[in-house]
Structure formats: C-alpha cells, structure tokens
Amino acid sequence: MIRASRHFMLLAAALSLTACGALGPAVRTSTATVEAAARARDTRLLVWPEVGVAPMIEAIASARRTIDVQVYILSNEDIIRALADAAERGVRVRLMLDPAPYNPSNPNSPLPINKETLKKLTGTKVMVAWSDPRFRFTHSKFMIVDRAKAWILTANMSKSGMTRNREFGVVDTRAEDVRDMNALFDADWTHKPWAPSSPRLVVSPINAESRLQELIGSARQAIEVYDEVMYDEATFVALGERAKAGVKVRVLMGDPQHIPGNATAAARLKELGIDARWIAEPVIHAKMVSADNRFYVGSVNLTTNSIKNNREVGLILDEADLLGSVRGTFEKDWSASIAFAPVPPTAAWTWLPPGVSWVTD
C-alpha cells in the first residue's frame, strides 16, 4: 500500500510539472505560472500560409451541433464543401457574408464572389444570410464551432487566405470570449444591437479605436505592426508618440504595387521616425499589433473606416508563447522586407477604400 501511494505521488508530481510547464520542482511553481498555463490552454495561434486549409476543414468536420461563420469573403472550395457536408450530417450551419465586397477592378461594381458562393450552397442545408447593412462592410472573419470554440482570423476564407497570404488566427475557448462571440453572431444575424463584455475582444465600430489606442500607448520598448493597408491619422499620431518616446516601432504593410497608398503611408510614418517596409511573399494581409508583452490580432486594418464604420472582430492577448510565435514570424518577414521608394510630399492617397482587402480569390 505504501509503495502504491509513493508511485501515485510521483505520478501526480510529474503531471503537475507537465501541465504547468514548470522548469523546476513543483514547490517552485507559482500561482501566476499555473494561471498562465491554464490561460494558454484555452487559446491557440495559427500562422498562414504555413498551416494551410487543413485546420479549418478539421474544425468544421469536428462540429457536432452548430457552426456559425461570419466572413467578408468565402470562396475556398474546400471550406464551402466542408460546410455543406456538416449541414448534411445534421449540424446547424449559419453563414453570414458581406453582400458587396469591394471590387478593385471596378469600384462601381461589387465583387460577385459571395453571390457565387450562395449559388453553390443553394440546395444544401446551410443557412446563408447577408450581413447587417448598418456596417459599411462586414469585414470580420470568424467561425464558432458548437458554440464553444471561436476561430478569430485575419484571413478571408479564400484560396489566397489559406495558401498564399501572411495571416494569423486564434482558436479561443475561454468562456467569456466565446460567450461574447456567440452573442455577437446572434445579434448580427438578427440585425440587433450588441456590446461586448470580454476585456479581450476588439470589435468595430464599438471599441476598436479605444482598445487599439490603449494597446499602442502602453508600449515602452517595442511595437511591431502587420497591416495590409494603413490610413488613420490618430493611429499614425499614436505610433509617432511612442517612437518619440524611444519605443522601437516597425511596420510591415502590403505591396505598394497592389496598394499604392501604402507608399504614402510609409512616408507619413517616416516623418514620425518609424521604419515601414513591405514584402512580396507571403502577401501581407495580416492585421497585428504587438506592444511589449501584449498583442492584437483580428480583422481590423489600421484605417479610419475599418476602425469606425465596419464590423470587425479581434482579440488582445498576453500569452507569452503565442506572442513569441508572432514575433518570430515578424522577424523572419522583416529580414526579407523591402524599403518603400520615396514619394513626393504632395502625393495623393491612392488605394482601396479603407478597411477592405485587395486579395480576394
């Protein structure tokens, strides 16, 4: 009996060390370490294009009761097929799409891509609705599986989003976050007002401005930014103030050949003492801001329209391992980055309407 008890105690100690990620004996594991490990278990980070479409397909296939999707663009054939298959096996699938995504080739004629997706789903059991017209664009990108697991993405559910772009996604099972995400989807599905209660959620047009400004203003050492398209003077000023205070600020934006206004944004940032660059591959579509020991990831571009007029969703996180992964990815991309060519001081802003995406297929 004594021998069995000793074995049990040794096993329990080993499991405690494994679960908490401790580096020393159990007596050295602080309450803060245990709590941090618990938080890390309810949030997972994905980095595209490295992970591909497989995690999304596996998540859809794992659903037993419900799938709710709100996304600016859905055109990925594998995801469309997986949603239809889930609905066929009895999962309630609700899909909310923006009815008129911006068309860079013809601004007066919205992209028909979501209407084509609707045709593909006609005859299936997937319930499809257009997004709430209160928002200029419903530019958010999220999926909730079984009302228990929220996938909050920077990526559209497109071929490029899953295979070509630099994107991030967070898989979040924290109860307060998921509760808010379910309430958000239900409210938008029925076109009713809603406000978040989770301190981690960043939602346009409700609290994105205040929470992103607070994140940027909190930095004392370093800020890294991924943004496909950037144009918001309040954000420029906030970043500039941090740079003036001695914070190292670096920005990676989308290819100026596709988004010419990014060159002008880079010139504005340079005036403020901020180094801004771009890379050709992978295509920068991510929206991420890291500030010391916290970071934001989600659908909000740092543009006035995205922050104030669109429906956008993201999270501010403080998990050290996730931040390490984001920063490691940024350093890899920064090492391959290209300086923006100088632009005339009087150059006009020329780009997509703020807050929308260039890469759509």
pLDDT, tens only, 173-229: 999 999 999 999 999 999 999 999 999 999 999 999 999 999 999 999 999 999 999
Residues 72, 137 within the same domain = yes
Low-confidence ranges of the chain (pLDDT < 70): 1-40, 344-361
Q: Would you state the pLDDT for residue 344?
A: 66
Are residues 274 and 144 part of one domain?
A: no
Instruction: Choose one of 189, 215, 250: the last residue of a domain.
Output: 189
Considering the domain architecture, whether residues 137 and 225 belong to the same structural domain is answered as no
Gyration radius of the chain's alpha carbons = 22
Token pair listed for 274: 């901020």
Total number of domains in the chain: 2
- What global pTM score does this model have? 0.86
Residues 6+ away with beta carbon under 8 Å from 14 = none
For residues 286 and 215, membership in a common domain is answered with: yes
Q: Cα–Cα distance between 22 and 31 in angstroms, integer? A: 11
CATH number for the domain spanning 223: value is 3.30.870.10
The pLDDT value recorded for residue 25 is 36
Residue 357 resides in a domain:
no
Pair (214, 297) in one structural domain? yes
Residue 350 lies in a domain: no
pLDDT attached to residue 300 = 98
> What pLDDT, on the 0 to 100 scale, is given for residue 6?
39
**What is the pLDDT, as a whole number, of residue 304?**
97
Same domain, yes or no, for 149 and 283?
no
pLDDT for position 40: 52
**Structural domain containing residue 212:** 201-339
Please tell me whether residues 64 and 153 are part of one structural domain.
yes
